[in-house]
Amino acid sequence: MLKRLDKIRFRGQKRDDFLDLAESPNGSDNECGDDILLRTRPSLKSQDTEELGDPAGSGALNMAAAFQDFQRSESDRLNEVKGHLEIALLEKHFLQEELRKLREETNVEKMKEELERERGKRLDLELRMNEVLKSRSVMERKPPQGETLYLRAWRWLYDRLGVYIEDFRFVPEENTVEAEEPLSAKRLTENMRRLKRGARPVTNFMRNLSALSNWHSVYTSAISFIIYMNAAWHGWAIPMLLFLAILRLSLNYLIAKGWRIQWSIVPDITDPIEPSKDDLTVSEKFQLVLDVAQKAQNLFGKMADVLEKIKNLFMWVQPEITQKLYISLWVTFLSSCILPYKLVGFMIGLYAGIKFFIIDFLFKSCPKLRDKYDTPHIDWNNLPTDPQLKERTNATMSRRVRTRTYESTVPCGVNLDADSARIHSTKKGAFHEIFNVSENERPLPVCENGWRCCLINRDRKMPTDYIRNGMLYVTENYLCFESSSSKSASSKKNKVIKLADITDIQKYKVLSVLPGSGMGISIATPSTQKPLVFGAMIHRDEAFEAIFTQYMKITTTSRQPLGSPEL
């Protein structure tokens, strides 16, 4: 025990003389100190009696007191050593518990066992692989008995061409799903700019063709027409087009090498310099995002219209138009079967040149002539899109229902024409009764259900008369507003404006602080001091186009039409 205590470090100096621990009881530090004090008290009493009996023994008493102090200091040091020993034992216990927990969590032993198993498997596989390689080398050195020349030749071909044969092995296609990027205004703007830059060569090419067909440069168009017609007459139209494509690629190669070659029939349009994004305010950035979204919406709408028209053309949605295409395909097929190829190519090339340089120029210069005699243009405009077909179907169904209900209310013996049976009615009654107009006045098909909006009459001061919510309709001669607060038919809150009395019509923005071009229409009449405003219209552009078109039809017959508004 003394050797173990001697190895423990403590603050006091190392001493060789310790109190005999066998005499001290196994107790706590306080108990040990009390025992020592009890043992020293009788000795003190005996010393006092000795002093009283023998005054000359004061030196012995001093030595006894010094020995007592020494025993006290040794007991204190022993208690300190005991405390350090207990602390070390506790730390060891805690460390063992933490080590056990870490071993349980990490499963080090299990991982070691799995590692040993994998090592054993690897060694087994290596042994088997070596055995297979040895057996194969032996088979190659010594061919088996009975092997024919055919098998040897086949093996030789496989060794030489096996790599190429493996390339023709069919592998099922993997369906990989590409990760979609989240919606970002910055990314949307950048993609629109990339689309614009990528489509610039195509737009420049189409603009040059249009300028060539419109005779923008008379000398260039005349020379091109003479060269093309001469090539088509001699059957060199296709080689000439291929030569032009080669020439264009050659020029692009020189431009890529640093040559400055600029040739265009029409001058290039330089894009405006866009301000840096750091200088834009929050409202300007928001307006930029709205402009990009509007451009994307219009672009996708035009593409959808083209695709839907092509689909409806081939699906016999408009039979009279598809019938023309059907007959023309049959004529072309029979001509290609009967006539020689050279004659067919000559006819097609000659017609294409005359159509491109002469007929298109006349049609573009004379719009009325184009509207009457340009059959492809007329048929393409008459082809409906899917939303137009849906509107037509809904209008037809509603008219049928109204006709049946009206016929059921008409007495027997009364004949109805097709036009007189089509009577439009709103939720509060017949249309002509609500607005006090003739029975022939009906909403146009584009606004048969009306446009929800609010009428702002700035001539009125009362809040109830200043703003009214309701529905807006357009007929052949009138602009009718039905107030939602009117409780009876022909209420004074309804508004009827004659289209011929309109002096000005413009798109209007009610709140200038909001981004965008607004959602209102301003209409000025002689009877109002300030123009009437129809605001909060979701389909503002559609309503404005319908009102302005109908207004132009009326003004062309009655008086000088109003100039095109600033859009």
| % the chain with pLDDT above 90 | 16
Q: Encoding tokens for residue 274?
A: 């866009």
Q: Which pLDDT belongs to residue 304?
A: 93
| CB half-sphere exposure, 491, CA atoms < 13 A | 14
Tell me the CA distances in angstroms from 106 to 93, 94, 111, 112, one per residue in order: 20, 18, 8, 11
Is a pLDDT exceeding 70 seen at residue 429?
Answer: no
Averaged confidence pLDDT in the chain: 76
Identity (one letter) of the amino acid at 19? L
Please give the backbone phi and psi of residue 471, each rounded to the nearest 5 degrees, phi first.
-120, 145
Dihedral of CA atoms 158, 162, 168, 174 in degrees, nearest 10, equals 130
Q: Which pLDDT belongs to residue 230?
A: 93
pLDDT band at 310 (very low <50, low <70, confident <90, very high): very high
Q: Whole-angstrom Cα distance, residue 87 to residue 81? A: 10
Q: Whole-angstrom Cα distance, residue 192 to residue 300? A: 12
Please give the backbone phi and psi of residue 441, each rounded to the nearest 5 degrees, phi first.
-80, 115
Q: Are 19 and 74 in contact (CB under 8 A)?
A: yes
* Tens of pLDDT, residues 492-551: 778 889 888 888 888 887 766 565 567 889 999 888 888 888 888 888 888 888 888 888
Tell me the CA distances in angstroms from 51 to 64, 65, 432, one per residue in order: 12, 13, 143
* Tens of pLDDT, residues 443-460: 888 888 888 888 888 777
99-103, 162-166, 204-208, 446-450, range with greatest mean pLDDT:
204-208
Please give the backbone phi and psi of residue 491, each rounded to the nearest 5 degrees, phi first.
-75, 155
Region of 316 (left: φ > 0; alpha: ψ -120 to 50; beta: rest) is: left
Region of 146 (left: φ > 0; alpha: ψ -120 to 50; beta: rest) is: left
Q: Which pLDDT belongs to residue 303?
A: 92
Mean pLDDT of 73-85: 83
Based on DSSP, count helices (H) and strands (E) in the chain, helices before strands: 18, 9
pLDDT band at 354 (very low <50, low <70, confident <90, very high): very high
Is a pLDDT exceeding 80 seen at residue 470?
Answer: yes
Q: Whole-angstrom Cα distance, residue 79 to residue 21? A: 12
